[in-house]
Amino acid sequence: MKKEIWEWTKAIVIALVIAFLLRTYIFATSVVEGASMDPTLENGERVIFNKAIYLLDTPDRGDIVIIQHPNKNYVKRVIGLPNETIEVKENKLYVNGDPREESYLTSSELDGTGSFGPIEIPEGQYFVMGDNRSISKDSRNGLGMIEEDEIIGRSEIVIYPFGNISMTR
């Protein structure tokens, strides 16, 4: 009986240590607040994000990232990379003068982008926007450029509500 209790205790302790390590260094969850990422991510959805990915790599255009700010975390899409010049003319994104397709957006979300720029993105910083361009607080209007160390992970999976379980990329 004592041996069985000892075996169960070891198994539970090992499981807790593994869960702690995964949660601390590899994966975590975040809740989407607001409608700035509609229709890709909706208000109240819970996503799992990969915390380790950017230890080995850098964010890429189109990645949905979690941005850590002092008062709250933001979920946004990377639009511009370090040392690029971005501009939007009549709702069309241009990177270094070349037009870019944003296949993840419908025409109604594109209509909210407006026009701005050209903007040069400094080394070590990123330009982010929400998918619901007309209401998103992002690099255009409040968040400013995002430092690389403020990006704490890449969104991977919607896990709640259960009916919405899906990959976010």
What stretches of 32-90 adopt beta strand conformation (E)? 46-50, 64-68, 73-80, 85-89
Q: Given this model, what pLDDT does residue 99 score?
A: 92
Q: What is the pLDDT of residues 47-65, one digit of tens each?
A: 889 988 888 889 999 999 9
In this predicted model, which residue has the larger pLDDT, 146 or 39? 146
Catalytic position from the list 36, 136, 139, 155: 36
Catalytic position from the list 30, 51, 76, 155: 76
Residue 36 a catalytic site member: yes
Residue 76 a catalytic site member: yes
Question: The domain spanning residue 49 has which CATH number?
Answer: 2.10.109.10
Q: Quote the radius of gyration of the chain (alpha carbons, Å).
A: 19
Residue-number span of the structural domain to which 153 is assigned: 2-167
Q: Is the pLDDT of residue 19 over 80?
A: yes
Count up the domains in the chain and report the number: 1
Asked whether the beta carbons of 155 and 49 are under 8 A apart, the reply is yes
Q: pLDDT category, 110, cuts 50, 70, 90?
A: low
Highest mean pLDDT among 35-39, 80-84, 161-165: 80-84
Q: How far apart are CA 125 and CA 131, in angstroms?
A: 20
**Against a cut of 0.85, is the pTM above it?**
no
Contacts for 57 with CB less than 8 Å, ≥ 6 apart: none
